[in-house]
Amino acid sequence: MISIKVNNLSKKFKLYSSSGKRALEYMSMGRLNGHTDFWALRDIDFEVPKGTTVGIIGQNGSGKSTLLSILAGVLEPSGGSYEVNGKVSAILELGSGFHPEFSGRDNVYMYGSIMGLSKEEIDGKFDKILHFSELGEFINQPLRTYSSGMIVRLAFSVVVNVNSDILIVDEALAVGDAIFQHRCFRKIREMQEAGKTILYVGHDTEAVRNLCSYGMLIDGGRIIERGDTNTVVNKYYALIAERERIYNEGNLEERGEIPGEGYDVVYNFVDNLESARKKSLQPDYVREQVLEVKSAPRKVIFAHPPSEIEYDLMAEPGASLAFAIGLLPGAWDKMKQGVKFDIYVICDGVEKNIFSRALEPGKHQHENGWHNFKIGLEDYYGREIAIKFVTSGTGEDLGYCWAAWGWAKVIAYRDNKFSNANNSNGWQSHISNLKMGVRFGTGDAEILKVEMLDKNGNPKKVFQPGEEARIRVHTKLNKSIESGFNVGFIIRNKFTDVYVTNAYWLGYDLGKRNKDEIFVVDFIQNLNLGAGLYHLSPASAISYSHNDAVILDWINDILTFEVTSNKRFAGVVDLHTKVEIKNEVTNNA
């Protein structure tokens, strides 16, 4: 015998963008269409033999609840047909079928009468319902005073005690506590043994596997998988994994230095792409594209290698180049080799590489995402320059090399809180691009520039673990300081302070300093750090003790550098661990 038979069942809802359009359509008697059609179900077909427990799974919004509401008689289908042979009891949405102002007792009698039971029949079942729900004296309180768990207790207790032929449960059990859930599942087992037909909907895939003999997976209003519950659940997991992959590719992690408040956009490279000089194998290999990054639309320049994009502009004082590099969604898992990103500045006929970085999925899976950078243009302030963005393949295979320059622009820092406009020493043209305006202190000293250098004194932003690095801090005194002057820095990663030091802690006395004096302090260290991005925050102060100081100038996260490594380890530091293995000598005597 077939308990439930569904043929080409469909359900359509009308969606209105505003109440005005709904009213306009109503007043025009349907002559004006103010809605769009949304098909919650399309062409659903299945049969459920008597005594079968069917598990229905799917993501939120897939159409599961709509289907059960139709089978329970709550909704009418827009197309197709269905047959239900037997009395149906259902738990649909939380509290559906109950009145919030009625007491729990009144709701039991109301639901029972809807199910066709007489008052005498309900009287005979009431004690059993109350015992199963464990509501006690709360049974006489209004339903609106119940917690969601108490409502579920009442609802399930009623529907399993009205002697229905078909039980429909729609995700409600997830609200109950663990003890009550176990009791419900035992009751469902009893109903299965009694030959009842059960439709169970939930996200608890283990419950579907254990309780149900047949499964269906609904997605987008259609059944996309049916049969053995293990097969259906595995398909569900695969569907979730694919959706998560697509979501993550469109919402990739954004790393690195992102300019915030305190900057003006001087030149937007994406907006000026049409006037740029471009070289590529195909015209559409360089084009503007809009992507979602962290659920927000962002403009990028798609630049399939080999490509060159060149712009002419003026580098005004305080200007910096802010940009990101990344690969478009879908490319990371398919690219066999990699893409190299280079930026050149051309000034007075001299071409200089100011940025070079490769993204190679096969070697560095953890680098998936958008990598932000900010590079100062202090060497070119007040001069006409050309900036050239170049992409090239790291190998011969250019398949899926969907490279992009993200939100590239020239920015200028506008906060002159600590800058001396009448600086006769000319240092104003060398002031580094100071990040985000997150800067504080008395102003008696001013950090003019911070550099990250290799052991030979050359600028460098990418290091290997253990490599020697020189942090150079240029400082100007706006006031004479008799003693205790100190310079230091903090290295941070995304989560915490990784390393903090200063000249005072290291035992160096910077001596007396005079007003308008400009000097340089170098900190030399081996970067025994794990792979990742790090931010540098310099500071100057007057130190009275190891824990007592007055901050003169502090700049948060002025510079970003990266540590990369092919060596496998996790954590913040590289301890250069060695392994020794020896056979233990045991005395068997």
d(CA 172, CA 181): 10
Inter-residue contact 435 to 374 (CB < 8 Å): yes
- pLDDT given at position 554: 87
Inter-residue contact 343 to 386 (CB < 8 Å): no
The reply to whether omega before 306 is within 30° of 0 (cis) is yes
Task: Tell me the mean pLDDT in the region 330-339.
Answer: 77
Q: What would the pLDDT profile of 53-112 be if each residue is shown by its tens digit?
A: 999 998 888 888 889 889 988 889 999 999 999 888 887 765 566 788 889 888 888 877
3-class state of residue 105 by DSSP: helix
- pLDDT given at position 510: 87
Instruction: Check whether 189 has a pLDDT greater than 50.
Output: yes
Q: Which among 583, 587, 565 has a CA at the least distance from the CA of 574?
A: 565
∠ CA(324), CA(325), CA(326), 5° rounding?
125
Q: Report how far apart, in Å, the C-alpha atoms of 248 and of each of 216, 253, 329 are.
A: 27, 8, 9
- pLDDT given at position 294: 63
Q: Which among 201, 194, 111 has a CA at the least distance from the CA of 157?
A: 111
Please enumerate in sequence order all residues whose Cβ is within 8 A of that of 42, keeping only pairs 6 or more positions apart, or say none: 10, 220, 221, 222
Q: End-to-end CA distance of the chain, in Å?
A: 78
419: exposed, middle or buried (C-beta count within 10 Å: 0-12, 13-18, 19+)? middle
Least confident of 27-31, 99-103, 309-313, 349-353: 27-31
- pLDDT given at position 435: 36
Instruction: Check whether 17 has a pLDDT greater than 80.
Output: no
Per DSSP, what are the bridge partners of residue 302?
A: 287, 404
Q: Report how far apart, in Å, the C-alpha atoms of 46 and of each of 2, 41, 54, 428, 443 are.
A: 11, 13, 11, 77, 76
Q: Which among 181, 109, 183, 117 has a CA at the least distance from the CA of 140?
A: 109
Please enumerate in sequence order all residues whose Cβ is within 8 A of that of 431, keeping only pairs 6 or more positions apart, or say none: 318, 378, 419, 448, 449
Domains and CATH numbers, the chain: 2-247 (3.40.50.300), 254-413 (2.60.120.260), 427-563 (2.70.50.60)
- pLDDT given at position 434: 39
Q: What would the pLDDT profile of 205-260 be if each residue is shown by its tens digit?
A: 878 888 888 999 998 889 999 998 888 988 888 887 666 655 555 445 666 656 66
- pLDDT given at position 19: 82
Please enumerate in sequence order all residues whose Cβ is within 8 A of that of 356, keeping only pairs 6 or more positions apart, or say none: 340, 341, 342, 343
d(CA 102, CA 144): 8
| Unique residue bearing structure tokens 């899976």 | 365
Q: What would the pLDDT profile of 467-505 be if each residue is shown by its tens digit?
A: 999 999 999 999 999 888 999 999 987 657 789 999 999
**Beta-strand pair 559-563/462-463:** parallel
For every residue of 167-221, DSSP letters joined together read EEEESGGGGS-HHHHHHHHHHHHHHHHTT-EEEEE-S-HHHHHHH-SEEEEEETT
Q: What would the pLDDT profile of 393-440 be if each residue is shown by its tens digit?
A: 887 777 778 889 988 999 886 544 333 333 333 323 333 333 333 577
d(CA 110, CA 305): 71
User: What's the CA dihedral at 344, 345, 349, 350 to 10 degrees?
Assistant: -70
